[in-house]
Amino acid sequence: MNIVVCVKQIPDPSAPQSLDEHHNLNRSGKLLLDEADTYGVEMALQLAEASSGEVVVVSMGDATDLTGLRTALAMGAARAVVVSDPALRGANALDTAAVLSAVITSVSPDLVLTATESSDGYTGTVPAQIAEFLGWPSVTFAKSLSASENSLTVSRQSEAGYDEVTVSLPAVVSVTAGVVEPRYASFKGIMAAKSKSVEVKTLRDLGITLDQGQAITAVTEAPSREAGEKFVDDGTAAEKIIAFLESVKAL
């Protein structure tokens, strides 16, 4: 089974985040593989290994730094395609999905995996948008999946628990954290990744016109909560909490 995993390179999430003058996230510096995408990469590798298929990672975004894509390649993906174009800075979810779909069509895989939402954009709509552009079925929020001949069986999270869903291939599936335990890249994998192909494409290569039908008007400071009393436990914390609950009439 040949699989495309859509992965995003994001600024270090543990560093303070900031916005540029166009209200877009500052993306200068090192770009890491979104942790949310490591699950899709691992799942894809396991499915491909079991069927002697190939895993291709596809990304849209800045290609000035490729640390994140190299991480996916070091885990075992065969190659990467990244669409990078100044016109895509701040691209909305619809344009992102249109771009990714165009690349996916050219790779023509049996399955597309994504995360349920990206750590920096978290619109959570890109997977369904890709599926609609491709005209494929999709299952979002997969917490486990297994493959058979021409279909997948997916446990899909639900409000009440989970549903078992079968979906015919090709399909788009978004996977949750915890679907599999992502591997750490081995030294051999890291060395091999250096010589794997990372193809950089522009919008012109894909022949896509952008939508860009939304804009940010303003970003303001949210009203913040004040910290209240801090009490260092001296053995009476339980009484302190009870008294507090009584004072707010919760007891």
Ligand X SMILES: Cc1cc2nc3c(=O)[nH]c(=O)nc-3n(C[C@H](O)[C@H](O)[C@H](O)COP(=O)(O)OP(=O)(O)OC[C@H]3O[C@@H](n4cnc5c(N)ncnc54)[C@H](O)[C@@H]3O)c2cc1C
Ligand Y SMILES: Nc1ncnc2c1ncn2[C@@H]1O[C@H](COP(=O)(O)O)[C@@H](O)[C@H]1O
Least separation in angstroms between residue 188's CB and other proteins is 28
**Closest residue to ligand X using C-beta atoms:** 119
Residue given tokens 């040949």 in the structure block: 2
Partner in contact with 248, chosen from ligand Y, other proteins, ligand X, none, beta carbon below 5 to 8 Å by kind: other proteins
| Partner from ligand Y, ligand X, other proteins, none binding residue 244, C-beta < 5-8 Å depending on class | other proteins
CA distance 198 to 194: 10
Q: Is the peptide bond before 170 cis (omega within 30 degrees of 0)?
A: yes
Q: Which does 184 bind (CB under 5 to 8 A by kind): ligand Y, other proteins, ligand X, none?
A: none
CB 210, CB 93: distance < 8 Å: no
Instruction: Kindly write out the interface string for residues 4-33 of this chain, putting x where it contacts other proteins by CB under 8 A and - elsewhere.
Output: -------------x-----x----------
Q: Are strands 138-147 and 151-157 parallel, antiparallel or unpaired?
A: antiparallel
Residues 6+ apart with CB under 8 A from 223: none
Q: Are 44 and 172 in contact (CB under 8 A)?
A: no
Under rule CB under 8 A, residue 116 binds other proteins:
yes
Locus of tokens 């994504």:
114
Least separation in angstroms between residue 125's CB and ligand Y is 5
Residues between 74 and 133 with contacts to ligand X, criterion CB under 6 A = 119, 122
**Residue 248 binds to other proteins (criterion: CB under 8 A):** yes
